[in-house]
Chain A
Amino acid sequence: MAGKSKEQGGDENVPFMQQLLDNPFILLFLGVASPTLLYIVWGVIEVAQIPIAQ
């Protein structure tokens, strides 16, 4: 993901932040990955660790 941009040549000087904000698919990746890891995966691990009642 590091700094890859699919821009057509000639825009070497576009700042990183702008490249990020101009690429909806990187944003899509971030917007799905962040809650999947921090909320769902972490949350499911917590639930899975609850001991089963005997």
Chain B
Amino acid sequence: MALAAKFRTCPDTGLKVHSQAEALIKANAVLGIIFLAVGGLFGLLVALTRWPAVHLLPDELFYLILTGHGANVLLFWIIFFEIAVLYFASAVLLNCRLAMPKIAWLGFLLMVVGAITANVSVLQGESTVMFTSYPPLKAQPHFYLGLILFAVGALVGCFIFFATLVIAKQEKTYEGSVPLVTFGAITAAIIAVFTIASGAVILIPTWLWSMGLIANVDPVLYKVVWWAMGHSSQQINVSAHVAIWYLIAALLLGAKPLSEKVSRFAFLLYILFLQLASAHHLLVEPGISSEWKIFNTSYAMYLAVLGSMIHGLSIPGAVEAAQRRRGFTNGTFEWLRKAPWGNPAFAGMFLSLVLFGFLGGITGVVLGTEQINLIMHNTLYVPGHFHATVVAGTTLAFMAVTYLVVPLIFRRQIILPGLAKWQPYLFGIGVAGISLFMMGAGTLGVPRRHWDITFTDAAIAVDMPGTAFLMMGLNGLFALLAATGGLLYILIVVGSVLFGEKRTEAVAKANPVIFDASTVKSYGSEEHPKLSGTYVLVAIFFVAFVLYYYVNWKFLSEVWPLS
């Protein structure tokens, strides 16, 4: 079955690119972007409905579209793109052929069929179960079947990735340890295997139940196992986007990790502990002990948070060290001021890092603490938090790397470079806004997944403060901004892939998109870095972290007076 492997040599990086790997990377990236377009539009519709002055959709349609939004963006967009990342980090970065391309195409096909099937069932209107699909809410059988097919396809992708690692090792296409970016991808793939296995364990019985073959699915058991998938899949995202941060910093600036050992150790912490944090979704679940909750969300999860903080220091540190090597040595922050802010790949990467850390990371620790979780549980604070992680963090990082994937893999020049420059800022600021305002509204008690915060037909009247309405309006405005940034991304990427100037060797030579490819391909740490600026940034982060954590405990003591 081995197809004679065809390779080309990349004029920018000198890497050997296997044609099948390249075709699969393109196909997965394109599908991901299509689902982002659909899901992003749904997100805007949801936000416009939650804007009280607009209240766009009628109630049933709101929940239907909300279900479609979650599935299309968090599953289909992100996972298609991640499969592309896995193939890139294995076959391309290791200079190797992709294992079993025919099977890889089969996996791709399963994912496409699964994603379309699930979308059809959502749009038919009988599967409005939202992202979590908790029983006893029941969707149509083909909703679960679609998700299962999609998951099997993604699992095939993970196996292709591991098989490619084996081939690269056997054929000695690289020396020593794999590059750090590949190591990050290994972390993502490992977490993906656990995620998908857990998903299968719970979705298959739920599917059988939806067809009447099983009498019932225990809701609490469902929640425990479902979140092993629902949360762990967010950790695939974190591992993948951290790997992409390293990749962009290395390609654009020649940034080397401060310490390969420490960065790899941080990924190891993810492998061992990150998935346990799934328990934070069950913090208010009666019937499960505090020992289980606190062990999994605190003792263990903080080790994983430590991993993220190591990357959070390491990546700006690597950027600073590289910039200083290039001569930007004045003062504490010249390296940062003179960073390539006009390059959307860099701007997107750095915004993703900052927003993920400050907005997503800090609020994640707060939500993951059993006591203070009570203040925000099931309010809009929760979507506020995870839009900072999966949208400002993961999605923006994936958008940023697309500005390199289009010239390097699709071999097209980016069209409309003047607009592309602004795209990460529009999207980043828009998403930062929706995150902050949803969190603000949640702190004021606005529930998540709710069509009508005035509760017009509720038996007991509920009075939302005026500021809550203000927050929802601001959320709507920033959703428009984010959607504009998202639309711009789609237009630029699709336009470039279809109509961009072909990047022949001559065009590539005349328009270099990367600075240095040697660091990304090999093992090696920065030597004697000077990092005064990074230390200041990290200090600001810690102060913000401590203050915000403290404020929430203080707040808890006020909402729940014990005297």
Contacts and interface: CB of A to CB of B under 8 A. Distances in A.
Contact of B287 (A34, A38, A50): A50
Contacts, number: 85
B177 interface: yes
Given A47-B218, A47-B224, A38 B194 contact: no
B191 interface: yes
A1 interface: no
Contacts of A42: 292
Interface in A1-53: 17-18, 20-22, 24-25, 27-28, 30-32, 34-36, 38-40, 42-44, 46-47, 50
B292 A27 contact: no
B288 A32 contact: no
Nearest to B198: A40
A31 to B, nearest CB: 4
Given A46-B288, A47-B287, A38 B190 contact: no
Given A27-B186, A43-B292, A46-B292, A34 B272 contact: yes
B377 interface: no
Contact of A28 (B193, B218, B287): B193
A43 B279 contact: yes
B323 interface: no
Interface hub of A17, A34, A35, A50 (most chain B Cβ within 10 A): A35
B165 interface: yes
A35 B279 CA distance: 10
Interface string B106-130: 0000000000000000000000000
B177 A31 contact: no
Nearest to A51: B287
B287 A31 contact: no
Given A38-B295, A40-B198, A47-B218, A31 B272 contact: yes
Given A21-B268, A46-B287, A32 B190 contact: yes
A32 B197 contact: yes
A45 B187 CA distance: 28
A43 B264 contact: no
Contacts of B224: 39-40, 43-44, 47
Interface residues of B, number: 39
A39 B275 contact: yes
A30 B198 CA distance: 16
Contacts of B191: 31
Interface in B142-181: 162, 165, 177-178
Nearest to B194: A32
B271 interface: yes
B232 A35 contact: yes
Interface in B283-298: 287-289, 292, 295-296
Nearest to A28: B190
Contacts of A18: 177
Contacts of B218: 47
A9 B183 CA distance: 23
A30 B295 CA distance: 18
B487 interface: no
Contacts of B278: 35, 39
B275 A34 contact: yes
Contacts of A38: 276, 295-296, 300
A39 B220 contact: no
A39 B190 contact: no
Given A46-B288, A47-B221, A35 B276 contact: yes
B246 interface: no
Given A22-B178, A38-B300, A39-B278, 11 more contacts: A17-B261, A24-B186, A27-B186, A27-B268, A31-B187, A34-B271, A43-B224, A43-B282, A44-B225, A46-B288, A47-B287
28 contacts: A17-B261, A18-B177, A20-B268, A21-B264, A21-B268, A24-B190, A25-B162, A27-B186, A27-B187, A28-B162, A28-B190, A28-B193, A30-B271, A31-B272, A32-B190, A34-B276, A35-B194, A35-B278, A38-B276, A38-B295, A39-B224, A40-B224, A40-B225, A40-B228, A43-B224, A43-B279, A43-B282, A47-B218
Interface of B: 162, 165, 177-178, 183, 186-187, 190-191, 193-194, 197-198, 218, 220-221, 224-225, 228, 232, 261, 264-265, 268, 271-273, 275-276, 278-279, 282, 287-289, 292, 295-296, 300
The 10 A-B pairs with the shortest beta carbon distances in the complex, nearest first, are A35-B275, A31-B190, A31-B271, A43-B224, A50-B287, A32-B194, A46-B288, A28-B190, A24-B186, A47-B220
